[in-house]
Chains A and B, each alone.
Chain A
Amino acid sequence: MKPAVWTGDHFFTGDIACAEGALAAGCRFFAGYPITPATEIAEHMATRLPEVGGTYIQMEDEIASMAAILGASCAGVKSMTATSGPGFSLMMENLGLGICTETPCVVVNVQRAGPSTGLPTLGAQADMMQARWGSHGHYEIIALAPASPQELFHLTITAFNLSETYRLPVLVMADEVVGHLSERVVIPPAAAVKTRERVPASGRRDRYKPFQRGACGVAPMAAAGAGYAVHVSGLTHDERGYPDMSAAGQEKMMTWLTEKIRANRDKIIQTESYRLDDAEIAIVSYGISARSSLAAVDEARAAGIRAGLLRLVTVWPFPEELIRDLAGRVRALVTVELNLGQIHLEVERCARGQAPAILVGHAGGAVIPPEEIVARLSAVSRT
């Protein structure tokens, strides 16, 4: 039997690293449904969770899986599900329920090429806008983009910490390549894993209001059955959780849901810069495409092109100010992603015309080769 934090040097896939990251973060409930290329996460959790006192449940579809993790979280347990394209689509309604009811949980999407059945066994990064806007209504979301199995381990922990801190579902937007890639994954000692827990309800039970804001604009959360009266509803609701069917009530709730993320953007957003200080051309990329981009930067530099990379670790919320400032310093912004222009349009929007935004896109099914990026960089550098 392995401990919850399986400290040591390992060689395994991103999917396994993701499951281990969840366990290290304190996840003790996983509701799953088989789907390529995310099935291995469910399989690993089915073996591991009973060892650490957790629960694996396989539901009848992804609609139910998403519902189950919300329920587990309401009961006070850190919970997660993992899926891919078609399953992610089925989760969208209940994802919105999690956002509206401010229920912390983690949803992993090991992206494959779509739309529809698409390429079940091959990767893409084409669900990035679905991650942002897939459920109906206006809302803020947090989505992270791991570029390696090691990072998938760490970002799964980060996802749990963010979801507990800000009380919302957090999305880990991996892709088939990162999910199935086997690499070295180092799991630190348990004491070195930093985990965050939701702020519990405290004080007099008769005065508790489940959606009364505290620090960071987030309400302390009572677990169902802990003695506090809770009322949780997907209807527009007030501090008590009771329906408020008015425009004023809607505005109040929407302000809660959006401001807790907007006001904390600086704390949430993570990016990495590589050789950006003197760059003339900045690549913006994330996930597996950022690894191609990393190689492309070095190759371009060797050819005398001053390229640099801004890697988005957090994709949502989008680092708008960072892109705007960068656009003011470089000759061009090149977005590299495994879709036909999703984050590219965000980059173009944030550049505000200061520098041209160029896309190195790909319809999915393969990784973008560094040479393709270098070729584009050299074309841009000649103009």
Chain B
Amino acid sequence: MGIAAEALKDFKGFSLKKLPVEEPLSPGHRACQGCGEVLALRLIMKAIGSNVVVCSATGCMEIITSPYPQTAWRVPWLHVAFENAAAVVSGVEAAYKAMNRKGIIDSPDTVFFAYGGDGGTMDIGLQALSGAMERGHNFVYACLDNEAYMNTGIQRSSGTPYGAMTTTSPPGKKSIGQSTQKKNLPAIAVAHAIPYVATASPAFPVDLMNKAKKAAMIPGPAYLHVYSVCPTGWRHAADQTIQVAKLAVDSKVFPLYEVIDGEYKLSRKVAKPKPVADYLKAQRRFRHLTESEVAKIQAKVDADWDTLVKRCGAEEAPAPAKEDE
């Protein structure tokens, strides 16, 4: 049995009827209306609980939760710089380890949680994240992926999907918008041979919380890649956040899966996939795409899905967590 499987053998999932009441990330923060990112972060925090130290990269979630002298955090929280959230959480974890060993504190179960956006994780923060995973610190890292630098006003990142409009990938006669394919960071995390990697979405809150809890229970590095809808940057109405997030999963654009001790496992099979066009049409950042471009994106989504299913070794996914009770 692998490290993760061993740690999870008594794992009990959440149910919508019995969610934790505590809110380590409190309401009253300054996120935009309909922000999927802060919703995801809130759910992660509910799942992890209050015995936690949180380290933040620079980004929307840093800005909107910590406008001095206010804070939305009810747990210890640090922000240092843009690129080093994973390095900071490494230091915090090492310090707790040393203090526990010396008997200065008695806090063996504290969870060390770091998060960053797609830019802070996939671009400028990748080096620090890779180092922390390689050193094997006991921490949870969540990439809250809203597919562009939203804090500075919608600039492309390596998490921006092909064809998307941002201010630095403007579509026009000479440009399709974002010209490159989205970086597969979960696969990069898997390549570090860490015990736990998962993708999750706030549209499937029980699944997201279960994965956050698992990540916290497992010793060693755990990586969560969380789909974080951004109405402001993606250009759709603020009340469409959950619909867009559901469409992303139902169209196979953002598959939900786990990689436990290196073994891929689909979290949710998609029996009747929706066309990718439905997903793209829901957001104005894709409005310039022609039918042939949409067809190209559909083909890529299908190919990526097939690759994923092959990695999972089976067509059948386990019964999904109950989300609709």
Point out residues on A near B: beta carbons under 8 Å.
Answer: 1, 32-36, 39, 42-43, 46-47, 50-51, 56, 58-61, 86, 116-117
Contact = CB atoms under 8 A, between A and B. Distances in A.
A46 B124 CA distance: 20
Interface string B48-64: 00000000001000000
Q: Which of A46, A59, A60, A61 has the most CB of B within 10 A?
A: A60
Contact of A43 (B119, B122, B155, B175): B155
22 contacts: A1-B173, A32-B168, A33-B123, A33-B124, A34-B153, A34-B168, A39-B167, A42-B155, A43-B153, A46-B167, A46-B168, A46-B170, A47-B170, A50-B172, A50-B175, A58-B156, A58-B157, A60-B122, A60-B124, A60-B158, A61-B83, A117-B81
Interface residues of B, number: 24
B155 A58 contact: yes
A86 B173 contact: no
Contacts of B157: 58
A86 B152 contact: no
Interface in B75-117: 81-83
B174 A117 contact: no
Q: SS class of chain B's interface: helix, strand, loop or mixed? A: loop
Given A46-B169, A60-B126, A39 B174 contact: no
Contacts of A1: 173
A58 B167 CA distance: 11
Contacts of B173: 1
B149 interface: yes
Contacts of A51: 174
Given A34-B149, A43-B167, A86-B82, 17 more contacts: A34-B119, A34-B168, A36-B152, A39-B152, A39-B153, A39-B167, A43-B155, A43-B168, A46-B167, A46-B170, A47-B172, A51-B174, A58-B168, A60-B123, A60-B126, A60-B158, A117-B58
B44 to A, nearest CB: 24
Contacts of A46: 167-170
Going nearest first, the 8 A-B pairs with the smallest beta carbon separation are A50-B174, A60-B123, A61-B124, A34-B152, A46-B168, A34-B155, A43-B167, A34-B149
Q: Which of A33, A34, A42 has the most CB of B within 10 A?
A: A34
Contacts of A56: 168
B154 to A, nearest CB: 9
Contacts of B119: 34
Q: Which of A32, A50, A51, A61 has the most CB of B within 10 A?
A: A61
Q: Which of B119, B168, B172 has the most CB of A within 10 A?
A: B168
Contacts of A116: 81
A86 B58 CA distance: 12
Nearest to A60: B123
Contacts of B167: 39, 43, 46
A42 B168 contact: yes
Contacts of A59: 123
A50 B119 CA distance: 24
A57 to B, nearest CB: 9
Interface in B184-217: none
B184 to A, nearest CB: 15
Contacts of B174: 50-51
B81 A39 contact: no
A39 B155 contact: yes
A27 B157 CA distance: 23
Contacts of A43: 153, 155, 167-168
A61 B153 contact: no
A112 to B, nearest CB: 13
Nearest to A36: B152
Nearest to B122: A60
Contacts of A32: 168
Contacts of B156: 58
Contacts of A58: 155-157, 168-169
Nearest to B158: A60
Nearest to A59: B123
A271 B93 CA distance: 54
A263 B268 CA distance: 70
A50 B58 CA distance: 30
Contacts of B152: 34-36, 39
A60 B128 CA distance: 13
A47 B170 CA distance: 6
B300 to A, nearest CB: 21
A72 to B, nearest CB: 17
Nearest to B156: A58
A196 B197 CA distance: 54
A1 B114 CA distance: 45
Q: Which of B152, B172, B174 has the most CB of A within 10 A?
A: B152
Contacts of B58: 117
Nearest to B62: A117
Interface string B112-141: 000000010011101000000000000000
A10 to B, nearest CB: 19
A258 B177 CA distance: 44
Contacts of A60: 122-124, 126, 158
Nearest to A116: B81
A51 B157 CA distance: 22
A123 B157 CA distance: 26
A61 B169 contact: no
A365 to B, nearest CB: 15
Nearest to A53: B174
A294 B157 CA distance: 43
A237 to B, nearest CB: 29
Contacts of A50: 172, 174-175
A15 to B, nearest CB: 12
Interface string B159-170: 000000001111
A39 B156 CA distance: 12
A51 B174 CA distance: 7
Contacts of B168: 32, 34, 42-43, 46, 56, 58
B165 to A, nearest CB: 11
Contacts of B175: 50
Contacts of A34: 119, 149, 152-153, 155, 168
Q: Which of A1, A43, A56 has the most CB of B within 10 A?
A: A43
A116 B82 CA distance: 10
